């Protein structure tokens, strides 16, 4: 987040904090007889709280759907995909899920987390897939594959080979 966006967000939050008590005071002054005539029922607030919990759950589900689109993948998304298992150095395991119809993205399972990576163009012919949000880069060449972390500039897994590549086929 840039400094300008942070400053703008803080300014809006401060303005809302100042305006909210003023608006509540104006509402309280405008309708004192309405509160006196009709007392608030505690039972009426409980269903409203349940509705807010249901709305929060729906928002969380929608947020999870946005997270899938933004860079991760779910178990249901990879059910019909072809899985390719890679064995890497130091005992690391990677599974790549690809779909025959979609050559522009893959789902990569690394340390029990599923990430969606999109294809990046290369001039060398290597297959390069990247998830900029998570900082993951998968580079696949005919002899092996490697997983890189672009955020800390280091290799996460190297010498990743399928069983066919390990046999030299």
CA–CA dist 151, 41 (Å, integer):
53
Q: Which domains does the chain have, with CATH numbers?
A: 3-70 (no CATH), 76-167 (2.40.128)
pTM: 0.55
| Residue 106 scores a pLDDT above 70 | yes
Q: pLDDT band for position 104 (50/70/90)? A: very high
The pLDDT value given to residue 167: 85
Q: In the Cβ-directed half-sphere of 17, how many Cα atoms lie within 13 Å? A: 6
| Residue 101 scores a pLDDT above 60 | yes
Q: What is the pLDDT of residues 38-71, one digit of tens each?
A: 555 555 555 544 445 444 444 443 443 334 444 5
Segment 26-38 shows an average pLDDT of 50
Q: pLDDT band for position 168 (50/70/90)? A: confident
The pLDDT value given to residue 89: 92
| Residue 126 scores a pLDDT above 60 | yes
Q: In the Cβ-directed half-sphere of 48, how many Cα atoms lie within 13 Å? A: 6
Bigger pLDDT: 30 or 110? 110
The pLDDT value given to residue 69: 41
The answer to whether the CB of 167 falls within 8 A of the CB of 155 is no
Lowest mean pLDDT among 25-39, 57-71, 87-101, 138-152: 57-71
The pLDDT value given to residue 59: 45
Q: pLDDT band for position 15 (50/70/90)? A: low
CA 116 from centre of chain: 9
Bigger pLDDT: 129 or 76? 129
């Amino acid at each position: 987040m840039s400094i300008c966006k942070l400053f703008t967000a803080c300014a809006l939050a401060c303005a809302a904090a100042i305006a909210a008590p003023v608006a509540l005071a104006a509402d309280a002054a405008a309708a004192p007889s309405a509160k006196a005539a009709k007392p608030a029922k505690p039972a009426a607030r409980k269903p409203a709280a349940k509705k807010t919990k249901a709305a929060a759950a729906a928002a969380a589900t929608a947020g999870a759907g946005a997270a899938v689109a933004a860079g991760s993948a779910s178990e249901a998304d990879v059910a019909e995909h072809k899985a390719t298992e890679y064995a890497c150095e130091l005992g690391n395991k990677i599974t790549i899920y690809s779909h025959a119809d979609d050559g522009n993205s893959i789902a990569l399972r690394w340390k029990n987390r599923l990430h969606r990576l999109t294809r990046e163009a290369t001039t060398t012919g290597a297959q390069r897939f990247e998830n900029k949000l998570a900082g993951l880069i998968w580079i696949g060449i005919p002899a092996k594959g490697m997983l890189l972390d672009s955020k800390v500039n280091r290799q996460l897994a190297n010498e990743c080979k399928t069983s066919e590549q390990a046999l030299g086929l």
